[in-house]
Amino acid sequence: MLRPGRNDVCWCGSGLKYKRCHSNFDDKIEALRLSHAVVPGHNLIKNPQQIAAIKESAKINIAVLDYVAEHIEAGITTEDIDKWVYDLTTKMGGIPAPLNYEGFPKSVCTSINNQVCHGIPSPDVMLREGDIINVDVSTILNGYYSDSSRMFCIGEVSPEKKRLVDITKESLNVGLSKVKPWGFLGDMGQAINDFARANGYSVVREIGGHGVGLEFHEDPYVSYVTKAGTEMVMAPGMMFTIEPMINMGKQEIYIDEDNGWTAYTQDRLPSAQWEIQVLVTEDGYEIIAY
């Protein structure tokens, strides 16, 4: 870890002298590193200017999901949702981050019932009464990224599906209670996993959250099946998603061989996911996108 002189400009880009900015921060990081903790590099710490720009991107992301919430209903296709997302995002000056990302062909992920994530919108897939669907929106604005998703119940859904959706959303608050500066990502992971299992559900292992802001997917990988006191230290200025994928049945999943993207539950039982984008602050956290 390279450290500037005390009176040099801080490495974070704030323009402040190092001694008034991140000198004490680096002391804590070094002490944790020497204790064999996994610590974030300087590249994962967002400065105030970057955070402000990411929040502008998040305004679009939130507005797009609000629009979906107002218009989603039985009878529309997932292609309709994709068009809403593309049209509103671009109208507001943004770019849908999923579009052409590593070959993904659409502007949004729409995952229905036993689809865990990365469902691809299609004119052939119509929402029906009783479906549950995750709509995962990600936005680029002036090179800055935001990312969040919500679950929607289409008409009257079964009590079992409704409970899965509600418990999955509640798991975010359980995880957030463990997001504290200088704590560990594993603190959050174990809290979410314990909560899901206590309610009779399982948590997907293979896919998790991620750092976000300057890129679509940054370090760290955020797992929800980890142990407290493990994984990367949550340092102020870090930004990542909390997005556990919680299955009604077993945790095993598989990827669609035809499209190479969509994940399904192995036992074909429903799965649910909510996603928020979180900034670690000096005294807790701030939700950036939801």
Percentage, residues of the chain above pLDDT 90: 98
In a domain, 212, yes or no: yes
pTM: 0.95
What is the domain count for the chain? Answer: 1
In a domain, 167, yes or no: yes
- CA dist 126 and 96 (Å) reads 22
Q: Is residue 273 part of a domain?
A: yes
> Is residue 152 included in any domain, yes or no?
yes
CATH number, position 189 = 3.90.230.10
C-alpha angle 226-230-232 in degrees, rounded to nearest 5? 105
The amino acid sitting at 288 is I
Asked if pLDDT for residue 41 goes beyond 90, the answer is yes
pLDDT of residue 2: 80
Q: Is residue 136 part of a domain?
A: yes
The pLDDT tens digits of the residues spanning 230-281 come to: 999 999 999 999 999 999 999 999 999 999 999 999 999 999 999 999 999 9
The answer to whether position 23 is within a domain reads no
Cβ atoms within 10 A of the Cβ of 79, count?
Answer: 17
* Residue 159 contacts residue 146 (beta carbons within 8 Å): no
The verdict on residue 232 lying in a domain is yes
Residue-wise pLDDT tens digits, 168-203: 999 999 999 999 999 999 999 999 999 999 999 999
Task: Give per-residue pLDDT as tens, 100-143.
Answer: 999 999 999 999 999 999 999 999 999 999 999 999 999 999 99
Residue 210 inside a domain? The answer is yes
User: Could you tell me the residue range of the domain that residue 282 belongs to?
Assistant: 43-289
199 vs 194: CA distance, rounded Å: 9
